[in-house]
Structure 1
Amino acid sequence: MTAAGASKTAADENFPVGSWLLPAALRPHVAAFYAFARAADDVADDPGLDAAAKLASLDRMARGLVEDGEEGVAGRLRRNLAASGVPVDHALALLDAFRQDAVQQRYDDWAGLMAYCDLSAAPVGRFLLDLHGEARSLWPAADALCAALQVLNHLQDCGRDRRDLDRVYLPLDWMAAAGAAIADLDAPSTGPGLRRVLDRCLDGTDALLDRARPLAGRLRSRRLAMETAVIQRIAERLAAALRRGDPLARRVALGKPAYLRAAAGGLARVAFDRLAPGRPVAMAAR
Structure 2
Amino acid sequence: MTDAVLAAAHEAIQKGSKSFALASRLFDGGTRDRATLLYAWCRHCDDVIDDQMLGEGAHEWAKWGATPAERLARLRDCTDKALAGEPTGEPAFEALARVAAETGLPARYAHDLIDGFAIDVDWKTVISGDDLLTYCYHVAGCVGVMMAIVMGVPPADHATLARASDLGLSFQLNNIARDVAEDAARGRCYLPLEWLQAEGLSLETYALPESRAALHRVVTRLVDLAERYEASAAHGVPALRNRQAWAVLSAAQIYGDIGRKVRGQGPDALESRAYTRRRDKLIAVALAAPEAIWKRNIRVSTPSDRTGLWTPDFA
Task: Report the residue type matching 1:149 in the other structure.
Answer: F
Distance 1:115 1:273, change over 3 A: closer
1:100-249 to structure 2, matched below 5 A, reads 100-135=119-154, 136=157, 137-164=159-186, 166-184=187-205, 186-187=207-208, 191-216=212-237, 218-245=238-265, 246-249=268-271
- Provide the residue aligned with 2:17 in structure 1: 13
| Residue 38 (structure 1) aligned with residue 58 (structure 2) | no
Structure 2 distance, partners of 1:56, 1:12, is: 24
Once residues 14 and 209 of structure 2 are traced to their aligned partners in structure 1, the CA distance between those partners, rounded to angstroms, is: 29
Partner of 1:263: 285
Call closer, same or farther: CA 1:108–1:82 in 2, change over 3 Å. same
- 2: CA distance, partners of 1:275 / 1:118: 29
CA deviations 1:187-239 (Å, max 9, x no partner) are: 468612211111111121122122123222x1232221111111222233222
Whole-angstrom CA distance in 2 between matches of 1:189 and 1:21 = 44
Change (3 A) 1:276 1:78: closer
The whole-number CA distance in structure 2 between the counterparts of 1:119 and 1:26 is: 23
For residue 162 of structure 1, report the CA deviation from its aligned partner. 2.7
CA distance in 2: counterparts of 1:227 and 1:100, whole angstroms: 30
Stretch deviating more after TM superposition (98-107 or 243-252) = 243-252
Residue 243 to residue 89, structure 1, CA distance change in 2 (3 Å): same
Following TM superposition, by how much is the alpha carbon of 1:86 offset from its aligned partner in structure 2, in angstroms? Answer: 2.5
Which of 76, 89, 103 is residue 59 of structure 1 equivalent to? 76
Greater alpha carbon shift after TM alignment, 61-70 vs 192-201? 61-70
Contact 2:126 2:190 in 1 (8 A): yes
What is the identity, as a one-letter code, of the residue corresponding to 1:93? D
The within-5 A match list for 1:82-93 is 82-93=101-112
Q: Find the aligned partners of 1:243 and 1:12 in 2 and give their Cα distance.
A: 25
> CA offset at residue 119 of structure 1?
1.5
Secondary structure in 1 matching 2:20 = coil
The answer to whether the aligner puts 1:70 opposite 2:88 as a matched pair is yes
- Percentage identity across aligned positions? 24
Give 5+ residue unaligned stretches, structure 1. Answer: 1-6, 278-286
CA contact (8 A) 1:159 1:248 kept: yes
**CA distances 1:38-84 after superposition (whole Å, capped 9, x unpaired):** 11112222388544324323333333324523111223311332133
Aligned residues: 269
Q: Tell me by how many angstroms 1:184 deviates.
A: 4.5
Structure 1 counterpart SS, 2:30 = coil
- Do the aligned residues in 1 keep the contact of 2:183 with 2:189 (CA within 8 Å)? yes
- Which of 252, 258, 261 aligns to 2:274? It is 252
Give the TM-score of the pair, scaled to structure 2: 0.76
Q: Secondary structure at the match of 2:188?
A: coil
Partner Cα distance (2:83, 2:257) in 1: 40
Indicate conservation of the 8 Å contact 2:171/2:256, yes or no.
no
Structure 2 distance, partners of 1:183, 1:247, is 21
Distance apart, 1:37 and its partner CA = 0.8
In structure 2, how many angstroms separate the alpha carbons of the residues matched to 1:74 and 1:185? 40
Checking the alignment, whether the CA contact within 8 Å between 1:16 and 1:231 is kept in structure 2 is: yes
**Which consecutive residues of structure 2, in runs of 5 or more, have no partner in the other structure?**
1-10, 52-57, 61-65, 300-315
Moved more, 27-36 or 175-184: 175-184
Whether the 8 Å CA contact 1:189–1:248 is kept in 2: the answer is no
- Once residues 189 and 89 of structure 2 are traced to their aligned partners in structure 1, the CA distance between those partners, rounded to angstroms, is 34
Which residue in the other structure is 1:4 paired with? none
1: distance between equivalents of 2:128 and 2:196?
9
